Chains A and B, each alone.
Chain A
């Protein structure tokens, strides 16, 4: 395969890893954010946690793999992004640290203060990453100040521009909806009812947020130059599936509703990657200073080796990870006798 083809393949693979991460961790972030509000007692909280209990850690590995793959395939992208978005990533890491520990630690002591503390860690640890990831991707699509040496010259506050914040809110919103629908699929009784009602009410909010994101994308990114007034099938389908989510929720076709929010997540992120391509870090200072898949990538040899490794192992990983979702397909009920702690 030619060098250019490999570079495009790895751009697509990294996009897929991020999409997989947003799709999977998206609902478990959503569940984490909803957990304190959809539960009335400790057993219910545990039941909510158990809907994602066997999966959240495996879902998070998609993030680590996206990071590792970016390092291997586009070292300059990895270096510029991670050092440039330093304070945001620091907060993301702290949030993920307390969240991961909280899942494991919260039930290991009966003290109520202990459990409440960790439950708030789960909440913040789900909310903050959703916000930060949304802000980060909005800024990746919008562009950030990158100088001729591939160094980010902005600050943390540069990222918190209006478009970044719209991206952050939109991400929190879609994860809340995605998570509520996941709970609707995976829980029973009163929790399921609450999740369903929340999803139905919140859906309209998310329609508005998605619309705002879509429209503001025309103002803040160069989508108009790149895709034209009609942005094409990807973003439009993403918005249509958002609308359909409401229809399916009303008809109690929850599996379909979940598929719709999943597609919305995937296509929204795909849109961001389409806007970026072939750039990976868009410079707002000078278009020539942007990092692209051509000037940020590893050597062809590394890309070849990594392609072979990915071709062999990705199907295996997908198979066993998918299989665990099949194993735990049963709904979780808030019955202390059946709950795993």
Chain B
């Protein structure tokens, strides 16, 4: 097997896995911060219970995001050493800044938030959760600045002696338009992920008439935030589409399976190609729509794969510059489809709120817990699209993925690929188990300060354990 392919699989698996947890952290932190602030302002016990309950789920999820993030920081050097040499000047800086500005902030104040209640003034404890939310979102900004540069390199020169990219304009790097639109898109998606999560779990409880007041409030908050977030996601996505035409036209064309340049360009509803993605079997297209997506008017020209391929061959020499179209094409549609479902969920939620929870509409609520999956599908396919759509480049136009890989044997990479996959799968089981357990247990379980103290375990029997719900307050 080819170490490049294995390394790409490993990066894909570890990164997608990491990004299962990140968006929920990004969004849910704000939810908990807002709830705790509401409690601080109103002294309404319900808000306190809400903050505790969602805070508990936030913590379980946060831990997974943190530990899988360590792999992210290290694997550039471990698996992509030649890439790291080439871009270290530029890419390393935001990574180091991310650790210094964001990781310290979120980890330190999360520790304070978990252990500090009653030990620090209430205001400080409240400030801690806000700082955690700010810290994790800051972290997203810096990693997206790093990724933005891979998609659209700015502020650099190529050193003619070493052949490496060198930073010449730090401001250009951090104000890279690509990065900020990514940030907008990602943060909005984080809010939407949290909203779907909160709506799904709240619906589960509301159907069972558990703690109605608490879960109605949570549901309401999530429906409103979710709707704002999903509209924001869409606007950011639309802006990204227009940027793509300028910065990564090949990605745009391959998303749309647009082989030939068109003016006005049509949007593909369904295109069936062969497995290479290079030959068309059957398609159904809507006229004008792609022009709108690409440049915000209905008549502009959108360049097709064949034209761009020819141009790239002239610029970069012979080679295949077309990404694996079956992935870019379908991941985009998966992302968009999931986003549409999310929009419907939030709209339905808002309708329930405005109509005062009408009985005849409540039967649909049973579907909402399942809809928690939607943001996860959208988030993952969005990144798959962004990263595979850049191929064969690791840095757009500068360095190819195959040239960035470490000089490791295929066997070595295969071993770690299997290792990560197994341990990640095991952790996923534990994570889902805990999330489900606490989500179902309601706020009572989250309110125990010293929850579930097991008896002295030497010689203790299994049935002597206090159970979660059976324990007296």
Give chain A's interface residues, CB within 8 Å of chain B: 40-43, 46, 50, 53-55, 57-58, 60-61, 63-65, 67-76, 78-83, 86-87, 89-90, 93-94, 96-98, 100-101, 103-105, 107-112, 115-116, 150-151, 298-299, 301-302, 305-306, 309-310, 313-314, 317, 320-321, 324, 327-328, 330, 336-337, 339-341
Using known A-B contacts A40-B456, A83-B408, A110-B468, determine if residue A313 contacts B100 with beta carbons closer than 8 Å.
yes
Tell me the nearest residue of chain B to A52, going by C-beta: B111
B77 lies within 8 A of A81 (CB): yes
Most buried by B among A81, A104, A324, A330: A104
B60 lies within 8 A of A341 (CB): no
A317 lies within 8 A of B104 (CB): yes
Most buried by B among A57, A70, A76, A89: A57
Which residues of chain A are near B423, meaning CB under 8 Å?
A: 94, 97-98
Tell me the nearest residue of chain A to B466, going by C-beta: A110
Give chain B's interface residues, CB within 8 Å of chain A: 59-60, 62-64, 66-68, 70-71, 73-74, 76-79, 81-82, 84-85, 87-93, 95-101, 103-105, 107-112, 114-117, 119-120, 159, 164, 166-168, 170, 406-408, 412, 415-416, 419-420, 423, 427, 430, 434, 437-438, 448-458, 460, 462, 465-468
Most buried by B among A71, A89, A317, A336: A71
- Min Cβ gap B165→A in Å is 10
B115 lies within 8 A of A53 (CB): yes
Which residues of chain B are near A340, meaning CB under 8 Å?
A: 114-115, 117, 449-450
Partner of A61, one of B104, B159, B427: B104
Tell me the nearest residue of chain A to B84, going by C-beta: A79
Using known A-B contacts A61-B103, A68-B95, A327-B116, determine if residue A105 contacts B60 with beta carbons closer than 8 Å.
yes
Using known A-B contacts A108-B60, A314-B100, A336-B450, determine if residue A53 contacts B78 with beta carbons closer than 8 Å.
no
Which residues of chain B are near A41, meaning CB under 8 Å?
A: 455-458
Total number of residue pairs linking A and B with CB closer than 8 Å: 261
Which residues of chain A are near B455, meaning CB under 8 Å?
A: 41-42
Tell me the nearest residue of chain B to A149, going by C-beta: B407
A90 lies within 8 A of B416 (CB): yes
Tell me the nearest residue of chain B to A304, going by C-beta: B170
With A54-B115, A64-B73 known, 14 other A-B pairs at CB within 8 A are A43-B456, A53-B115, A58-B111, A64-B70, A71-B77, A82-B77, A86-B408, A90-B78, A94-B420, A100-B63, A301-B166, A305-B93, A320-B109, A327-B120
Using known A-B contacts A58-B108, A305-B170, determine if residue A75 contacts B92 with beta carbons closer than 8 Å.
yes
B91 lies within 8 A of A71 (CB): yes
Tell me the nearest residue of chain A to B82, going by C-beta: A79
Partner of A302, one of B66, B93, B99, B103: B93
Which residues of chain A are near B109, meaning CB under 8 Å?
A: 320
19 contacts across the A-B interface (CB closer than 8 A): A41-B458, A42-B457, A64-B103, A67-B73, A68-B97, A75-B89, A82-B77, A93-B70, A97-B427, A101-B63, A101-B427, A110-B468, A299-B159, A301-B168, A302-B166, A305-B170, A313-B101, A327-B116, A340-B450
Using known A-B contacts A101-B64, A109-B434, determine if residue A61 contacts B99 with beta carbons closer than 8 Å.
yes
Partner of B453, one of A42, A75, A109: A42
Tell me the nearest residue of chain A to B83, going by C-beta: A79
A109 lies within 8 A of B66 (CB): no
